[in-house]
Structure 1
């Protein structure tokens, strides 16, 4: 797989599909402690007809480097890869933290984003007093327990336990410094008051059972978007792997203008 050196880190990415395919390229950005393979189902589907780019964020998956301390810094990494590939215009698809990165890129470069898709993502992290205390305390437990607790609760009830354990192991392999700095970057992320600046057609897809980033927070975000379509799916926070076929179908309709 190709890599690009960006500010001291080797970022791994995939660039698949026909260069002269249908529509502008699709760019997929994964979430916290995940990797580009969260998008395997969507990549296999879309790369048959159009160019698809996905990458492992700094310190995640097969990319090297330490964590970034802000979402804007993570967005700069993604933009460096897109500039290297000479992608002037694209559809951005981001899951969770990847959706925060996608919003940041769209605000900074609206002329380059044809459409924006946010999967289980929000524009401002907010907590009730009880949940905020729980999140603060969780950072004090051993690292692997912290990761396991967060990943296990990301899936809807009934998702196979053996698959959840696989994702927990993969997330725990992410360097601790990367996990914690990205965690801090998400907690301080806030562009809610700027969403009125985004005129890009936007799709918000969310899992009904998401307890990490609840539907109520997404709906507050939806009200601020001038041009947004909302889809609620019977899934948890890890929609790309919990309901891959359903998510792919929703994306396909949105990017091809089908009703």
Structure 2
């Protein structure tokens, strides 16, 4: 083949590839644009603007944990809200707004997240010890623990390390979109072969994030249409009704989480196994809440928790995914209020 023909062929290939990339980008932009043009009932919701009395507790390994306290100090119970992986205490927006008039609330940023300090110890057991410290220093009376995703795992770690707290200080527990273990086996709803490839690729990606976190973060700073669509697909179930403002709110929390933090916690999540610790929760009223379409901590994981805690109330929320507390806050808040009433009555 002549040089001229080779150059022409190469140019054609590059041109076709460029056209394909441009077409994909245009389609993606069009899809996001259509989503944002839909009526958005949450457009004026003040996400991230609720504030309480700021407190700081310092862990034995020197990490400063940021917390905020709101609600009446003479309330019968304190509700301690433990957020999930890559989120912050602001992810409890609707629960904070709904419960602050009736209950004393303690929201806290888990280590390395939000306004809390960084640490090299990113284990779930350490998070459980942090929660114990929060209870010791910021919760003088009885409380109910509420955990979403990694926050639920934090509660399980506390149950494993400090079982004597349950039934006395801890009067109730809610585990939302969480798992007691085997997260490494997730398929994310993908075909088996594709899921296998993804699981093989993730450790390498995590390694890059750990080694080159600053470079990766610079690429994440502005946010992208792709991250918006991915979050909307993985984090929310009812794609037609979810608020773009809510998606943007969550995406901003995830984007603000340093890449090194994402990488450092990933192995702890994959190796998490606290199924044997769940028996402690039989001492107190327990509410398990999960989205029917949760791909990240699927329904089967909540069913496994419910099997280990037979007295627990399992609420499955239709057409909803991992961020159920933001996607269907009314359903979640109703379940939490029922749990709080049971805890006040001293039920088990």
TM-score normalised to structure 2 length: 0.67
Partners of 2:89 and 2:292 lie apart in 1 by 23
Please report the RMSD computed on the Cα atoms of aligned residues, expressed in angstroms: 2.5
Partners of 1:240 and 1:254 lie apart in 2 by 15
Q: Match of 2:175? A: 118
Larger Rg: 2
Q: Match of 1:179? A: 262
1:79 aligned residue (99, 114, 132): 132
1:222 aligned residue (306, 313, 317): 306
Judge conservation of contact 2:79–2:145 (CA < 8 Å) in 1.
yes
Partners of 2:231 and 2:338 lie apart in 1 by 29
Partners of 1:122 and 1:184 lie apart in 2 by 15
Aligned partner of residue 28 in structure 1, secondary structure: strand
Aligned partner of residue 204 in structure 2, secondary structure: coil
User: Compared with structure 1, are the counterparts of its residues 67 and 231 closer, same or farther at alpha carbon in structure 2 (3 Å cutoff)?
Assistant: farther
Identify the range of structure 1 (5-14 vs 161-170) with the bigger mean alpha-carbon deviation: 161-170
Question: How is 1:1-259 mapped onto 2 (pairs within 5 angstroms)?
Answer: 1-6=54-59, 7-21=61-75, 23-66=76-119, 68-107=121-160, 108=162, 109-110=165-166, 111-126=168-183, 127=185, 130=192, 131=195, 133-141=197-205, 143=209, 148=227, 151-152=231-232, 153-158=234-239, 159-161=242-244, 163-199=246-282, 200-234=284-318, 235-257=320-342
Partners of 2:87 and 2:178 lie apart in 1 by 14
Partners of 2:57 and 2:338 lie apart in 1 by 32
Post-superposition Cα deviations, 1:86-136, rounded to whole Å, max 9, x if no partner, equal 434310000000001112223423232100100001111241584455234
User: Compared with structure 1, are the counterparts of its residues 58 and 105 closer, same or farther at alpha carbon in structure 2 (3 Å cutoff)?
Assistant: same
Identify the range of structure 1 (32-41 vs 66-75) with the bigger mean alpha-carbon deviation: 66-75
Partners of 1:86 and 1:120 lie apart in 2 by 25
Aligned residues: 257
Partners of 1:97 and 1:90 lie apart in 2 by 19
User: Compared with structure 1, are the counterparts of its residues 85 and 132 closer, same or farther at alpha carbon in structure 2 (3 Å cutoff)?
Assistant: farther
Judge conservation of contact 1:67–1:177 (CA < 8 Å) in 2.
no
User: Compared with structure 1, are the counterparts of its residues 224 and 20 closer, same or farther at alpha carbon in structure 2 (3 Å cutoff)?
Assistant: same
Give the deviation of 1:233 after TM superposition.
0.8
Which runs of 5 or more residues in structure 2 are unaligned?
1-53, 210-215
Judge conservation of contact 2:124–2:269 (CA < 8 Å) in 1.
yes
Post-superposition Cα deviations, 1:34-88, rounded to whole Å, max 9, x if no partner, equal 0001112111221212211010111111112125332110111122122112434
Aligned partner of residue 69 in structure 2, secondary structure: strand
Post-superposition Cα deviations, 1:119-175, rounded to whole Å, max 9, x if no partner, equal 001111241584455234134346469994974512214134554244223212212
Which runs of 5 or more residues in structure 1 are unaligned?
none
Partners of 2:230 and 2:171 lie apart in 1 by 33
